[in-house]
Chain A
Amino acid sequence: MNQTVDQNIEQPIRDFIATRLLYSNEGFNYADDASLLREGIIDSLGVVELVEFLQTQFQLKVDQQEVRPDNFDSVAKMGAFVRRKRGATA
């Protein structure tokens, strides 16, 4: 796990996946670079819920063309995506 990242972005994403997609009270027990699609953690509904979560949590507008594995397939990729979007709108 990359310890240098801004935990204000990654932690809410981990919490959302753990509680809303994995129905787990034990937190997110995967590496931040684990593939959520390959591990079977999210399906297409999960992707839509993650998009809605990122939009609400981080006040972003996610375009449908951005809903790609390289932006949504792991906590790390979502974190980087949020940072890029914030940078672009800053």
Chain B
Amino acid sequence: MHFTKDSLNLDPALETERIVKFLQQNVRQTMRRGAVVGISGGIDSAVVFALSVRAFGPNKVVAVMMPDKDSDKLSEQLARELAKKFGVEPMLEDITGALQGFDCYRRRDEAIAHVFPEYNADKGYKAKIVLPQDLLDNATLNVFSVTIVRPDGSEETKPLPARDMLQIIAATNLKQRSRMSTLYYHAEARQFSVMGTANKNEHDQGFFVKYGDGGVDIQPIAHLFKSQIYQLAKHLGVPEGIQKRPPTTDTYSAPQNQEEFFFRLPYATLDQIWFAKENNVPAPEAARVIGLTAEQVQRVYDDITRKIRTTDFLRLLPPQLEASHTL
């Protein structure tokens, strides 16, 4: 079969049916009785939630909204709209208190202030970390910078030293791990399964937190490219506001899209290039179909390979030795 611009198109009705059966079988096999989904107001969790309602009915699905003080208010609004549309009363679990208990904000802000001594979240400063944005035209490696937004709206970006990068990421990952703990509280209190919301892009390239949003019982959409998630969202009737919202991390205090934080190019382009790579389409041929140069496509091929390789440990179970003595 030839690679075309339409190669990523799937039959949404058929795929929905396949995933619903998969969810029903797995939940039954593990003796669970329903699903818990963290709904963020984003497209991925919306699709997983809608699939879960199809699989188990609205009375067997718990939808949990887990904002913290940095979250965009629009996220909760969209999550409520989604839950209402599918006949579920969402639960609100504000994790700000838990994060203060973990000292998340102080640890993160301390590292940002190492780079920008003027940074003060209490005075209205906001911050985010970003990767270079020119992957198609520049082969720069994935090295983070930190951007602050001052109370007057002006922005400044500086390279992030290794020590501060690690501290910011470690502190911020407390958010995803607090959410995971909250979801498991609700799942265990009902004997339900926690649904993962990572798509293929996030799962395979390692854009998730180990034992955070990666800590789940089932991965319903980890085999689907982001473009295909949008196709399912349309089929399932996910609210338009969610379908049209640009993908965001909603993790740092300054607005941050997923391209800035991780993927470095629009998902529609990334998906086509990645699909071509997975199907062994030579870079020049993929480039001709997508409308790029072979060099640009090769750059993305290389970036995908590097991200998958360097995040392998996220997807592995903890290694252990075989028993040294047997009968």
A interface, CB within 8 angstroms of B: 37, 40, 43-45, 47-49, 51-52, 64-65, 67-70, 72
Task: Give the number of chain B interface residues (Cβ < 8 Å).
Answer: 19
Q: Is the CB of A45 within 8 A of B138?
A: no
Interface string of B143-162 (1 = CB under 8 A from A): 11100000000000001111
Q: Is the CB of A43 within 8 A of B165?
A: no
Q: Is the CB of B140 within 8 A of A64?
A: yes
What residues on A are CB-neighbors of B145 within 8 Å? 64
Q: Is the CB of B310 within 8 A of A44?
A: yes
Q: Is the CB of B139 within 8 A of A69?
A: yes
| Cross-chain pairs A/B with CB under 8 angstroms, 5 sampled | A37-B306, A48-B144, A51-B143, A65-B140, A68-B139
B interface, CB within 8 angstroms of A: 132, 138-145, 159-162, 165-166, 302, 306, 309-310
Closest 3 CB pairs of A and B: A43-B310, A44-B142, A48-B162
The A interface is mostly helix, strand or loop, or mixed, namely helix
Q: Is the CB of B310 within 8 A of A67?
A: no
Choice from A40, A49, A52, A69 contacting B141 with Cβ under 8 Å = A69
Q: Is the CB of B143 within 8 A of A67?
A: yes
Q: Is the CB of A68 within 8 A of B141?
A: yes
Q: Is the CB of A65 within 8 A of B165?
A: no
Q: Interface centre among A45, A48, A51, by most B CB within 10 Å?
A: A48
Min Cβ gap A52→B in Å is 6
What residues on B are CB-neighbors of A70 within 8 Å? 139
* Interface contacts beyond A37-B306, A47-B142, A64-B132: sample of 20 additional A-B pairs, CB < 8 Å, sorted by A: A43-B306, A44-B310, A45-B162, A45-B166, A48-B160, A48-B165, A49-B162, A51-B143, A52-B162, A64-B140, A64-B143, A64-B145, A64-B159, A65-B132, A65-B140, A67-B141, A67-B143, A69-B139, A69-B302, A70-B139
**CA gap between A64 and B160 in the complex, in Å:** 10
Q: Is the CB of A47 within 8 A of B306?
A: no
**CA gap between A37 and B306 in the complex, in Å:** 7
What residues on A are CB-neighbors of B143 within 8 Å? 44, 47-48, 51, 64, 67
A40-B140 contact in complex given A45-B162, A45-B166, A64-B159, C-beta closer than 8 Å: no
Q: Is the CB of B140 within 8 A of A45?
A: no
What residues on B are CB-neighbors of A49 within 8 Å? 162
What residues on B are CB-neighbors of A37 within 8 Å? 141, 306
Min Cβ gap A51→B in Å is 7
What residues on A are CB-neighbors of B165 within 8 Å? 45, 48
What residues on A are CB-neighbors of B144 within 8 Å? 44, 48
**CA gap between A49 and B306 in the complex, in Å:** 17
What residues on A are CB-neighbors of B138 within 8 Å? 65, 68
**CA gap between A53 and B22 in the complex, in Å:** 50
Min Cβ gap B227→A in Å is 26
Q: Is the CB of A52 within 8 A of B142?
A: no
Min Cβ gap A39→B in Å is 10
